[in-house]
Amino acid sequence: MGMVTGVRVAARRARLLPAWVKRADGAAARRINARHTHPHVDRFWSRLTGFADKGVLWFTAAGVLAAVGRPRAAARGILSLVAASALTNLIAKRVFGGDRPTLEDVPIGRRLPVQPSSRTFPSGHSASAAAFTTGVALESPRVGAALAPVALGVAYSRLHTGAHWLSDVVGGLALGVGVAAAGAAIIRPRPGPPPPPVPPGADRELPASPDGDGVFVVVNRSAGTSVVRADPLDVLAERLPKAELRVLEPGEDPGEAVRAALARPTPPRIVGVCGGDGSVACVADDARRAGVPLMVVPAGTFNHFARTAGVPSVDAAVDAVQRGEGVRVDVAELTFGEHEPITVTNVASVGVYPDFVAERERLQHRLGNKWLSAIIAAERVLRRSDPVTVVVDGRRAQVWTLFVGVGRNDRDLPAPLQRRTLDDGLLDVRALHAGSRTGAVASLAFGHRTAAVLRALRLIPERVEAFTATELTVDVRPRHGQPPGFAHDGEVALDEPAAASAHLSAPGYRTTIRVVPGALDVYRPAVRAAASERAA
């Protein structure tokens, strides 16, 4: 009976697909199979297509998007994926069906460990990839553009491994895009991100520089290479012609460049940084020690601190410097043993998140794409990492991650990665207590309300403990004989824990985090000016 059904399905597809499509399928398969590729290349495509099985790649991407403040893009991407997957597997494959390419024609090193047994047209992997990426792009075009090469890579992997014909892949891509577009007609995407609310904090008059005189800006070009945006250097050079713009070499420390400028006989009156959160925190440390105001130009992938400070663009940063408008903000000091404190502008953490950041940085050196590196790193870390034992102010606990945010964060998110206040004088502490790996993923990826429903269904046994403090002492116990890394503002502090290990039984370490109220002056458009611009 099954054989008869298969013959009928194949015959039906032969009638529905024109002869030229079948000829194109055969020509594409012959060309791809005839290419000689390195075994590492074959392994990469096999692993990529395996990572996309059952949508794991895209659910991981959605978790990353939700964690960095793009929940609408994550939700639309997942809903588009689910709809496309259902349409593909429940309807399209049954209507069209078809046989897969003959394995004898596919080089042995490219074949999948387990060959798919479902009908072939259209490709479910391609449909899911196109649906998710298109759904994300509808809400966030820049992120969608960054994910598009990944989606196309998944589609090609089905050809490279011999799992599908070219028409299967093209049909899947078309179906996925169509499903996401249909979803946009039902639930319209927002025309653009809503204007960010002006964060709390009293406006402050700072030194003005209409032409950039006395302004020194370090520019970290590598901070935002994975995001499509206009080059901020052009805007800075045009609007602040007398400013000194110091473009960093790959791997160069922005703090060293700033310290050298501040050590001159005539130091700059204003220090600026054009980069991501890690670069901002590094320069903020030197700016506050020298007592000079900080100009923040958002040019990284996430820009958590710049958004909170009320500086959404390079033009907003320049406007504030030209008019001398700013605000005084709190920071935190992260201290390992007797070492010099490190300035923290957003968050410090130990556990899964530092593991994720370290893995992402390693991958980014090889892949060159921060979003792709983040997605792969999240999957690897959540599969391999173990909980960390910490002692917080004398209380011992096993946690997946301990986050310590500067200022109060959104109470609905278990990971305080972007502060909501600038000067409340508090640390916002969140401890994700250890439990199942699946629960940890869900707790980090979803908001408070969704996580509460999942916990009620016993799908997330984790408990997120939240409290505020002004100072915190954390003893971090060894994990597998090694000191777990501590991260701050998207960067990993691995050397400090190793050097501070003498303060506990090696290789554990102790760190202290304390809030420093009103420690840094930051340029931002005044509240009334910003409100007038939004109204216009």
According to DSSP, residue 191 is labeled: S
Residue-level pLDDT at 243: 94
Question: Which residues fall within 8 angstroms of residue 174, CB to CB, at 6 or more apart?
Answer: 122, 130
250-254, 270-274, 532-536: which has the highest mean pLDDT?
270-274
Q: Give percent above pLDDT 70 in the chain.
A: 75
- Whether the CB-CB separation of 489 and 278 falls below 8 Å is answered with yes
Pairwise CA distance, residues 385 & 499, whole Å: 23
Whether residue 262 has pLDDT greater than 90: yes
pLDDT one-digit tens code per residue, 461-477: 456 788 899 999 988 88
Question: By mean pLDDT, which of 113-117, 308-312, 328-332 is the weakest?
Answer: 113-117
Whether residue 486 has pLDDT greater than 90: no
What's the rounded mean pLDDT across residues 2-6? 44
> pLDDT-derived band of residue 226, with 50, 70 and 90 as boundaries?
very low
Q: Enumerate domains of the chain plus CATH numbers.
A: 2-107+120-186 (no CATH), 203-328 (3.40.50.10330), 344-521 (2.60.200.40)
> pLDDT-derived band of residue 294, with 50, 70 and 90 as boundaries?
very high
**DSSP H helices in 187-276:** 232-239, 254-262
What's the rounded mean pLDDT across residues 348-371? 73
Whether residue 459 has pLDDT greater than 50: no
Phi-psi category of 368—alpha, beta or left, where left has phi over 0 and alpha has psi -120 to 50? left
Residue-level pLDDT at 17: 65
> pLDDT-derived band of residue 352, with 50, 70 and 90 as boundaries?
confident
- Mean pLDDT of the chain, nearest integer: 78
> pLDDT-derived band of residue 417, with 50, 70 and 90 as boundaries?
low
Strands (E), 221-289: 244-247, 270-275
- Whether the CB-CB separation of 429 and 472 falls below 8 Å is answered with yes
Structure-block tokens of residue 296: 């923040």
Q: Which residue has the tokens 């590598």?
A: 222
What's the rounded mean pLDDT across residues 165-182? 87
Q: Residue 24, exposed/middle/buried by CB under 10 A (0-12, 13-18, 19+)?
A: middle
pLDDT one-digit tens code per residue, 187-196: 888 755 554 5
What's the rounded mean pLDDT across residues 410-418? 65
CA torsion 297-303-307-308 (nearest 10°) is -110
